[in-house]
Structure 1
Amino acid sequence: MEFFTQIMDYIQANVAMAPFIIFGLLFLAGFNIPVSEDAMLFISAILAAKNPEYATSLFIGVFAGAYISDLICYGLMGRYLGNKIFKIKFFASMAPPERIDKVTNFYAKYGIWTLIFGRFIPFGVRNALFLTAGLGKMNAIKFAISDLIACTISCVSFFYLYYTYGETVISYVKQANTVLFALALAIVSGILIHKKRSQNKA
């Protein structure tokens, strides 16, 4: 934790290097190293508001980092390494077989909306989505295009909010994330209950 605090302090003091550092941190997040995309978006937007001349490079850094991070989690961690990662307890709990099946069904049924909706839900849901998409062998081109659209929507939205309103909007974003997370749980629970009842009737 102290290490990341030092990095944040360094970013604040070296704005010109910030886009590269933020990109690097998000790149590591693709390997499920706990780097918050939300925090990186907030930091980059706040820095951009204080240093408008770096706004474009800061947005490119955070956007590229977020998108490539998704591809790493999907392609390397999920699709390439596959079941090998289940030897690591952390990944085994993140994507058990039944969850892979559920997420695969969501992708098949709702397509890009699964990624768009999922990107706005924190609490580890994002990486779990990308990981299970890879484990479920979702078409690579379809994932790349769908996630590019989803990543663009979420990054532009949050960067704009933080850039325009700063810290005053954080509490609202957290509340919205909590509501979305609760809504997602309710939807998944409802679908599972409906499916179970249908099976019992059959």
Structure 2
Amino acid sequence: MTSLMDMIQANIAMAPFLIFGLLFLAGFNIPVSEDAMLFISAILAAKNPEYTTSLFIGVFAGAYISDLICYGFMGRYLGNKIFKIKFFANMAPPERIEKVSNFYKKYGILTLILGRFIPFGVRNALFLTAGLGKMNALKFAISDLIACTISCVSFFYLYYTFGETVISYVKQANTIIFAIFIAVALGLFIKKKKQKS
């Protein structure tokens, strides 16, 4: 990450466009970390205050458009065609799509808000399954706009204000959130199995 940051710092005027471009690619499930882009853009903004607004716009727009690509193009448009690719077949099997669709129906916007804070690829899986499950496009766009605003503003502010000192706390929090997510998913899976038997 240091070398990427050095490269972007050396081209600071282009940084918002580079960050936006990398996040744009993430919408196609190319492994670009939104968390890393938020961290890099906030640290660069702290070092170059005159670019704060453009860096935030770049990372925010990239994150939001990436979500819309994953939902709209990958999920709704390509849909079942992508299941011919093993990577996607494993990422969103039919039972997971049904489960996530039920979460969206039951908890609505909360699913997206909480989902944005779950790391390790869960985010894109949520957006992909929302598209595959044909969640209402306007509802998704508005809900995700709210969720994206909350997460981007929160993390950008934290990284901008506290810099690298806060990164270890964020990593620990991410691990805890992911562990809770796994525990809840496992609990629901066991509950469903018991109801069937």
Summarize the alignment of residues 181-196 of structure 1 with structure 2, pairs less than 5 Å apart. 181-196=178-193
Which of 63, 72, 76 aligns to 1:75? It is: 72
Alignment CA distance shift 1:33-1:172 (3 Å)? same
How many Å apart are 1:15 and its aligned residue? 1.0
Q: Work out the CA distance in 1 between the residues paired with 2:154 and 2:171.
A: 14
How many Å apart are 1:92 and its aligned residue? 0.8
Which residue is equivalent to 2:59?
62
Which residue is equivalent to 1:135?
132
Which residue is equivalent to 1:126?
123
Matched letter for residue 59 of structure 1 = F
Which of 172, 176, 193 aligns to 1:175? It is: 172
How many pairs were matched up?
A: 197
Task: State the percentage of identical aligned residues.
Answer: 84
How many Å apart are 1:9 and its aligned residue? 3.2
Q: Work out the CA distance in 2 between the residues paired with 1:81 and 1:7.
A: 32
How many Å apart are 1:145 and its aligned residue? 0.5
Which of 28, 46, 50 aligns to 1:49? It is: 46
How many Å apart are 1:6 and its aligned residue? 6.2
Any unmatched runs of 5+ in structure 2?
none
SS of the residue 2:135 aligns to: coil
Q: Work out the CA distance in 1 between the residues paired with 2:156 and 2:3.
A: 23
Which of 16, 21, 24 aligns to 2:21? It is: 24
Q: Work out the CA distance in 1 between the residues paired with 2:5 and 2:39.
A: 12
How many Å apart are 1:7 and its aligned residue? 5.1
Which residue is equivalent to 1:112?
109
Over the aligned positions, Cα root-mean-square deviation in angstroms equals 1.3
